[in-house]
Amino acid sequence: MTVFTLAAENRTTVINLAISDIRKQGSEAINKDLFNVYVNNYFKGISSVFNDIDSNSPLWEKVQQYKLNAANFAAHKSYMVTDKIRAAKDDAEIKSIVNKFNRYQSAEYNTIVARSRTAKQWDTFESEKHLFPNLEWIRTRSANPRELHLGYVGIILPMNDAFWQQNQPGNLWNCKCDWKTTDAQTTAKPTKITPAATGLDGNPYETGKLITEKHPYFKVSADEKTIIDKFLVKQIRDDAVKYACDNLRDKKIPNVIGTGRTKIRNINIEFSRKGIEHFAHDFHENLNYKNLLIKNLDELVLKSEYVASAPNLDINNTIVKQYHYYKINILGKIYYLNVRELCDGKFILYSIKQNIKSI
């Protein structure tokens, strides 16, 4: 098999092994190694912009949404590339396929960085709008600018103008335009509007998506979508569980049992493999988002607030003494972490629920 590479930063045997595996009879519909190359590259782009954001930042949940969006994008791309490589007639065609998606990957990375930056800037703009209510479009940094956005240079419009919901730096592939807040007088709107590139529509700060479902990668049948969705659920869950088991099981997170009206007891909440895996398989209306948070269970526990306790009424369960419930806000909704108090005195995170059935 001829050796091919996907991109300069990924010149490892993983791509060659992926190609070899795809060509085997009965291989999976989506190659996991290809997916990991794509998604890790996208995550790197997102992290390069939001590297200073922690779980206490208002932007933290939005960053998780962007990662989930990027993972979904990577899964759909992996499905397409896997299918094309499998159908290729020879090595020459495979090389052509890899080279084409190599070029795409570079543009996708650059644009994910640009749209992440746009979203982060918008958050800053929101905090400044009482002083600087308008936005100004700034000329691209590119030495050879395209004509498409040059007509926007110098326009100044109110931040709440509908124009900015569909027109931002980064809504064309490899766009290097910029914008800034200003209190300067507004100008007329541009006479010619350049539509966003397919899949780059909408303001990413408002939509929570860096790349939308209008992108061609998402044009799949219902059966294909089912395959991709199942793959993504498994990849996010398995990756998060492995990370949590490797990195969280030695941690003890302080919290309390009790409220201002009852005696407060200081405790340390721990993590077990069984509890992490149970948490990962709990039903949730946004399953992938919930499982993406498994890597940050320690921070979720630290931010959670004690609500109530309930005794263990199962006489066959001689391990658990009682259950303690802690509320946590996820994407604007309240959920409850279930912490088991064991008979040996340990407190172990066990599950997440949308409600508490009985206390």
Question: Is residue 276 assigned to a domain?
Answer: yes
357 token code pair: 């059935």
Last-in-domain residue among 203, 220, 237 = 220
Residue 136, beta-bridge partner list: 156, 180
Query: Residue 288's domain spans which residues?
Result: 223-353
Last-in-domain residue among 220, 240, 274 = 220
Question: Is residue 118 assigned to a domain?
Answer: yes
- At 12, the pLDDT band (50, 70, 90 cuts) reads very low
Residue 138, beta-bridge partner list: 178
106 and 216 belong to one structural domain: yes
176 and 236 belong to one structural domain: no
Give DSSP secondary structure letters for 48-65: HHSTT--TTSTTHHHHHH
Question: Is residue 1 assigned to a domain?
Answer: no
162 and 95 belong to one structural domain: yes
Pairing of strands 333-342, 253-257: unpaired
204 and 245 belong to one structural domain: no
Question: Is residue 3 assigned to a domain?
Answer: no
Question: Is residue 180 assigned to a domain?
Answer: yes
Question: Is residue 359 assigned to a domain?
Answer: no
Q: How many domains does the chain have?
A: 2
Last-in-domain residue among 158, 192, 220 = 220
**Crossing angle between the packed helical segments 13-22 and 91-128, to the nearest 10 degrees:** 120
Q: What's the rounded mean pLDDT across residues 72-77?
A: 98
Question: Is residue 297 assigned to a domain?
Answer: yes
- At 146, the pLDDT band (50, 70, 90 cuts) reads confident
261 token code pair: 């009206």
Contact 15, 6 (CB under 8 A): yes
Q: Give whole-number Cα distances, 169 to 110, 200, 307, in Å.
A: 12, 10, 44
Residues 303-350 have pLDDT tens digits of 999 999 999 999 999 999 999 999 999 988 999 999 999 999 999 999
SS3 26: coil
Q: How many CA atoms lie within 13 A of 82 on its CB side?
A: 28
Q: Look at residues 211, 214, 208 and name the one whose alpha carbon lies nearest to residue 72.
A: 211
Q: Look at residues 278, 269, 276, 277 and name the one whose alpha carbon lies nearest to residue 346.
A: 269
Residues 47-69 have pLDDT tens digits of 999 998 988 898 999 999 999 99
238 and 149 belong to one structural domain: no
83 token code pair: 């299918």
Question: Is residue 2 assigned to a domain?
Answer: no
Q: ∠ CA 288-170-64 to the nearest 5 degrees? A: 20
pLDDT of res. 9: 46
183 and 299 belong to one structural domain: no
Pairing of strands 156-158, 134-138: antiparallel
What integer best gives the mean pLDDT of the chain?
91
pLDDT of res. 359: 47
